[in-house]
Amino acid sequence: MTKTYYLWTIGCQMNSSDSQRVASELEKLGYHCAPNYREADVVVLNTCVVRQSAEDKATGFLWTLKPYKENRPDKVIALMGCMVGVKGHKLAKAFPHVDVFMPPSEPSPLIDYLLARQGEQESLAYRYQLQDEPSPIQEGNLSLVLPFHERNNLVAAHVPILYGCNHVCTYCIIPSRRGRERSRSVGEIVNEVRSLVTQGVREVTLLGQIVDRYGYDVPDGPRLPDVLRVLNDLEGLQRIRFLTSHPNYMTSELLEAVAELPKVCEHIEIPNQSGDDLILEQMKRDYNMENYCHLIERIRARLSELSIATDIIVGFPGETEAQFQRTLDYLAQLKLDVCHVAMYSPRSGTVSAKLWPDNVPAEEKKRRLNAVNQLQEQILIEINGRLLGRTMEILVEDKQRGRWQGRTRTNKLVFFEDDDNNWKGQLVNLEITWTGPWSLRGTLPGRKPLKVE
């Protein structure tokens, strides 16, 4: 009988990418994707601990699984990601029903466990036998075999290029859970992207906690612009993105690469976290608002059409109303395209949790979060509104509920209608006929505009 797996994932793009790898490895062992966790033979929880809310969801799901494990002790439960971390953990006592613990980005503990359980003979027979499919892909020439449901179906993929983080932003738990920076080699990255292109992928987003520090851990090693240059030459690949950048490593060389390389998209994720210099110092971000604004100016001067995303934390310990107001003022002034806002969540073991009480009340954090979101909505109505009537290049990712959807080079979501052609994975020029804060609508040349309900 076919064995099945169920993957539960929460958190950042790196986690989604890690889960994709786990799925790929499980499918090589002969496992199929299960529709839900109840029947699955193997359940993997890929966890995030950046905020308490994410950790609570993982813990809640772990307890949901307990009775299923009791009813069927052969069901395998694996816990992966930042809840486990790279330094060893003390979770086995708290969660005795978990069979395997896997650090972030490491599928091997689970695979080794299953191999040992199945017995080498049986599993080796499974190993290279992929599921039935119209055009089986030989694993031999692929460095990453996409899970079955994504093969020749996924248009935009994430590719980790730098694991871990060497910074110590005082609020952030990631460095202690994902370990020191480790850059993958250019050869490994190129092989992986090439194999993804063979499987239908047209766009890759290169991932790192501070992706613009790629290669800094290797003396005289290649840097992010070098990776972008090599990938830009890869036939079949249409677009390249990267995230997340730290303001201090956004070099002129990197900006030049974005400006010059046709496949590298004009979208930069560059969190500033707060608009107040004292808070930035307490966060140990190593820049102030003058530096950040100057950087945004430099980026905008070099790239005429681009979008910029930021992250903001509200309710950092001791954040006063005046300090929060400075964040709002800067956001209003800079008019960025995306603002991911989060309420400060003290993480045990971080410097900020040790030094300062979490003294901004939850209600106040929520009010500040809403204020940022409302301001951002207004900003987006204005800046997206300027795109009305423009012709923009969209990479089409999918068709859902009768509508094609894709993204501009600047990462704006665009919908359009067409029942006559299959646009998936294609670059298409659309006239923008409607704009809203969170999405745009467009039409193919010579077609009627999409109806707005």
Q: At closest approach, how far in Å is the CB of 150 from ligand SAH?
A: 24
Q: What is the distance between the alpha carbons of residues 215 and 189, in angstroms, rounded to a whole number?
A: 12
Q: What is the distance between the alpha carbons of residues 231 and 234, in angstroms, rounded to a whole number?
A: 5
**Is residue 274 classed exposed, middle or buried when 0-12, 13-18 and 19+ CB atoms within 10 A define those classes?**
buried
Which of residues 170 and 410 has its CB atom nearest to ligand SAH in the complex? 170
Q: At closest approach, how far in Å is the CB of 243 from ligand SAH?
A: 8
Which of residues 105 and 209 has its CB atom nearest to ligand SAH in the complex? 209
**Is residue 152 classed exposed, middle or buried when 0-12, 13-18 and 19+ CB atoms within 10 A define those classes?**
middle
Q: At closest approach, how far in Å is the CB of 367 from ligand SAH?
A: 16
Instruction: Provide the binding-site residues for ligand SAH, judged by CB under 6 A.
Output: 12, 50-51, 165, 171-172, 174, 209-210, 244, 271, 273, 311, 313, 342, 344-345, 347
Residue number, nearest CB to ligand SAH: 311
Q: At closest approach, how far in Å is the CB of 174 from ligand SAH?
A: 6
Q: At closest approach, how far in Å is the CB of 25 from ligand SAH?
A: 25
Which of residues 50 and 79 has its CB atom nearest to ligand SAH in the complex? 50
What b/e string do you get for 193-231 counting C-beta neighbours within 10 Å, with b at 16 or more?
Answer: bbbbbebbbbbbbbbbbbbbbbbbeeeeebbbbebbeeb
Nearest to 68 by CA among 91, 41, 90: 41
User: Could you tell me which residues are beta bridge partners of residue 203?
Assistant: 156, 239
Q: For 213-241, give the DSSP string.
A: GTTTTSTT---HHHHHHHHHT-TT--EEE
User: Could you tell me which residues are beta bridge partners of residue 158?
Assistant: 205
Q: At closest approach, how far in Å is the CB of 258 from ligand SAH?
A: 18
Which of residues 47 and 209 has its CB atom nearest to ligand SAH in the complex? 209
Q: What is the distance between the alpha carbons of residues 20 and 24, in angstroms, rounded to a whole number?
A: 6
Q: What is the distance between the alpha carbons of residues 122 and 151, in angstroms, rounded to a whole number?
A: 26
Which of residues 174 and 264 has its CB atom nearest to ligand SAH in the complex? 174
Q: At closest approach, how far in Å is the CB of 59 from ligand SAH?
A: 17
Which of residues 177 and 202 has its CB atom nearest to ligand SAH in the complex? 177
Which of residues 69 and 158 has its CB atom nearest to ligand SAH in the complex? 158
